[in-house]
Structure 1
Amino acid sequence: MSECCTDTQDQMTITDPTLSATDLNVAYEIRCLRQELGAMRDEFRQFQSELLSLRMSVSDCNDRMTKIENKVSDVERRFEEQSPASYDAIEATIAALKTQLNDRDQELLQNDLIIAGIPETKDENKFHTIKVLSTKLGVTVEDRDVVNIERIGGVRRGLIDGADSPSGELRARVIAVRLARRDVRDQLLRAARVRRGLTTADLNISAPPRRIYVNERLTQMNSKLFHSAREAGQRARYRYVWTKDGRIYARREDGVPAQRIRNDADLAQIFGSSRVR
C-alpha cells in the first residue's frame, strides 16, 4: 500500500515541511484508502451492471419458458379435445403408410430367394452350392444370373465348424440369393415345389440328410405375418396358407376362394381372434 502512494507522500513532504512524520503517514494512509475505495466503487458498479445484465437474461429465459409451456398446454388441450374418431383416423393412416412402405420393400425383393436347410461350413462355396441345387432342380443358372449370395442372420460362433452334427445343421443360417432376372427365380420356385423331397444328400453334402426348402424372400414384416398366418391356419384347420409374389394367402379347402392376408387385422378376421397369437 505504501508504494502506491509514494508520489503523494513526497508531494506532501515538499509542500508542507512543518508536518510531523506521524501526520504525514496518517495523511498518506487516508489518501491510499480513498484511492482503494474509489477502485472498489468502480468494481462494484461493474459488478452491478453485470448482475443487472444477468437478471435480464434470466428474465428473458423465464419469459421464453413460459411461452413454451403455454404452447405445450395449448397442444395438449387441443389433443384432448379431439374425438376418438380422430384417433382412429390417425391410426388408420399410420397403418396404411406402414403397409405401403412394406409393399415397396417387398417389390425390391422380387428377384430374391431364401434357401434353408443347407449346413453352414467354414470357407463354403455358396455359389457352387447354388449351381448344384439348380442343376438338381432342372433349372439352368448361368454365372451372370446370380447377383449376390449370402447367409443372413447373426453369426453363431462355434456352429460353423460343427455343421456336420445335427445340432449344427438345425441352426445353420439361411442363404439369400438375388438373381438378375425374375423369370429365373420363378423357374427355381416352381421346380422346388415339384421336388419337395429334395435333401442335402442330393447335393452330395457330407452331413446327415436334411430337407432343403426354397422359398421367395419376404420382408421382415411379411415374414412375421406369414409365420403367424401358418400357426393360426393350423389351429383353424385351414388346408392352405402360402405366399405368391410376396403376398400371403389362405384357403380353407379346395374349391373356395383364396383370402389375402395383409395385416394382423386380416388374421383376426379370417381365422378368428381366438386363434391368432
Structure 2
Amino acid sequence: MSKDLAKLFLELKEELKAELENFKDAVERNVRSEERSLRTELGEMKASLNFISKGLDDAHRRLQVTLCENKQLKKENESLRTTVFTLEKDLVESQASLLKSEQYTRNRNLEIKGIEQTENEDLKQLLEKIGEKLEEPITESDVDISHRVPTKDDGKTNIVVQFQRREKRDKVLQMARKKRLTTTLLGLPTDFPVYINEHLCPTMKKILGRAVARKREHCWKFVWTRDGSVFARRTETSRIVAITCENDLNKICADISV
C-alpha cells in the first residue's frame, strides 16, 4: 500500500511539475508578447513625440524668423515715417519760400479794380488822375510799367501798376486806404467804387478770398493785407492772426479765446 501511495504521489508530483512548466511557459509567452506590444507602442509614441518636437522646433524657428522680419519691418516703417515727415516739412518750407519769393516780386505793385477798360485808354493819364484824387501825385517817372490783366469775370480786367520804388507804392496805398475813390471822381461816365490794393500772387489771392469767407462764417470783424501777407482779427481788442498758408485758415474759427 505504501508503495502504491508513493508511486501515486510521484506521478502527481510529475504532473504538477509539468503543469507548472506549462504555466511558466505561458506566462513567459504572455510577458514577451506584452513586452513586444509595449515596445511597439513606445516606439510609435517616441516617433510621434519626435514628430511633434520637430514640428514645434520648425514652428519656433518660423516664429523667430517672423519676429525678426517684423522687427525689421517696424524699423524700416519708422525710418520711412521719419523720411516722409522730413520730406513733408521740406515741401512745406519750400512752398513757403517759393510763395514768399513769388510775392516779393510784386512788392512794388498795386492792383486797381473797378475801372472798366475803354477804347484808346491812356493809363498814364488815368494814374495821374488817381494820384491827384488821392493827394499823392503819381508821375510818369514814378511808374515802371502799367498794364491790364484779366480776371475771373469775363470781359473785366484790372490794372496792375509797378512803381519804380516800393516807398512810393506804399504812400499811394496808404492814401488809397484813407480816401475812397469812385469812377465818377476820376471823370469817368460810370459810378462804381474803385479799389486799390496790394498786388497779390494767385496763391495769396486764394488765401485772402478764403480768409474773407471764413471771417463771415465765424463772425470775425477784420481781414486785411500788409506787405503781401494776410492778417485777421476777431475784434478790435483781440490778437492779430497771421495767415501765411492754407493751414493757417483754421485759426479763423469760433473759438472765443482767439
| TM-score w.r.t. length of structure 2 | 0.65
Amino acid at match of 1:271: C
Which amino acid letter does the alignment assign opposite residue 222 of structure 1?
M
Q: Specify the alignment match of 1:201 in structure 2.
A: 184
Superposed displacement of residue 248, structure 1: 0.7
Deviations 1:155-180 (A, max 9, x none): 99xxxxxxxxxxxxx95200000001
Q: Deviations over 1:157-209 (max 9, x none)?
A: xxxxxxxxxxxxx952000000011121111111111112x110001112x20
Q: Does 1:249 align with 2:237?
A: no
* 1:152 lines up with 2:149 in the alignment: yes
Q: What is the one-letter code of the residue matched to 1:112?
A: N
The offset of 1:127, in angstroms, is 1.3
Corresponding residue number in structure 1 for 2:124? 127
- Post-superposition offset of 1:99: 0.6
Q: How many residues align?
A: 181
Q: How far apart, CA to CA, are the structure 2 residues paired with 1:149 and 1:234?
A: 33
Alpha-carbon distance, 1:154 to partner: 6.8
1:152 partner letter: V
Gap change, CA 1:97 and 1:192, over 3 Å in 2: same
Report the residue type matching 2:137 in the other structure.
T
Partner residue, 2:65: none
Please name the residue that 1:107 is paired with.
104
Give secondary structure in 2 for the equivalent of 1:212: strand
**Structure 1 residues 155 and 86 mapped into 2: Cα distance closer, same or farther (>3 Å)?**
closer
TM-superposed CA distance for 1:241, in Å, is 0.4
Which letter does structure 1 place at the counterpart of 2:187? N
Change (3 A) 1:85 1:271: farther
- Whole-Å Cα distance in 1 between the matches of residues 208 and 131 of structure 2? 26
- Could you say which residue in structure 2 is the equivalent of 1:212? 194
Residue of structure 2 in register with 1:19 after alignment: none
- Where does residue 21 of structure 1 map in the other structure? none
SS in structure 1 of the partner of residue 235 of structure 2: coil
Match status 1:174 vs 2:158: yes
CA distance in 1, matches of 2:251, 2:236: 20
> Which residue type is aligned with residue 112 of structure 2?
I
Identity of aligned residues (%): 26
Structure number having the greater strand percentage: 2
User: What is the deviation of 1:153?
Assistant: 2.1
The structure with more radius of gyration: 2
1:224 is aligned to 2:221: no
Determine the C-alpha separation between the residues in 2 that align with 1:131 and 1:80.
64
| Structure 1 position 82, deviation (Å) | 4.8
**Superposition map of 1:18-37 within 5 A:** none
For the 8 Å contact 2:108–2:162, the answer to whether it is kept is: yes
Secondary structure at the residue paired with 1:213?
strand
In the alignment, the residues of structure 1 paired with residue 151 and residue 115 of structure 2 have an alpha-carbon distance, to the nearest angstrom, of 16
Partner of 2:134: 137
The change in CA–CA distance for 1:81 and 1:155 in structure 2 (over 3 A counts) is closer
CA distance in 1, matches of 2:169, 2:202: 20
Gaps of 5+ in 1: 1-78, 157-169, 273-277
Shift of 1:148: 0.3
Please report the TM-score for the alignment, with normalisation by the length of structure 1. Answer: 0.61
**Larger deviation, residues 243-252 vs 186-195:** 186-195
Give CA deviations for 1:216-237 in whole Å, capped at 9, x if unaligned: 1111111111111111111111
The match for 2:246 is: 264
Distance 1:135 1:171 in 2: 28
Q: Distance in 1 between matches of 2:163 and 2:252?
A: 34
**Whole-angstrom distance in 1 between the partners of 2:139 and 2:159:** 18
Structure 2: gaps (5+ residues): 1-75
Aligned: 1:95 with 2:92: yes
Distance 1:133 1:191 in 2: 11
